[in-house]
Amino acid sequence: MPKLAEGAEKRTKQIKVRFTEEEFKLASHLASKSLAVWLREMALDSTQDFVVSEKKRNITLPKKDPELVRQLAAVGNNLNQIATVVNAQKSTLDTALLMAKLEEIEDQLSKISDS
């Protein structure tokens, strides 16, 4: 087993990942190094786009501005809080008006995330 470089921290934590046979072949093919090294780099390197191509699907996760992502997460949290209050007070709310407002918010969020 190779020795660690001086000052390097030993990796002691593990996760178990299950693949189908096809997924494993695809991941192994995409890995230019060992599969473990490639998976770690893909998970931790925020500067790379993540692209996986297969016959039936093409998944692309583009780079996004971290501040925009944080703000969208905050909006999502606010919507969850609103939903909690709405569910607690169902009998006193105008459901049609509420649905219209939520659809309006959803449209605006879609425009933001598409840009």
Give the residue, 41 or 91, on which the prediction is more confident.
41
- Whose CA is closest to 98, among 76, 82, 110? 82
Residue 51 phi/psi, 5-degree rounding, is -130, 130
Residue 55 has pLDDT above 70, yes or no: no
> What is the chain's mean pLDDT, rounded?
75
pLDDT for 15: 87
75 CB-side CA count, 13 A: 14
Find which of 11-25, 73-87, 96-110 is predicted with most confidence, using mean pLDDT.
Answer: 11-25
Residues contacting 46, CB < 8 A, separation 6+: 63
87-113 mean pLDDT: 76
Residue 56 has pLDDT above 50, yes or no: no
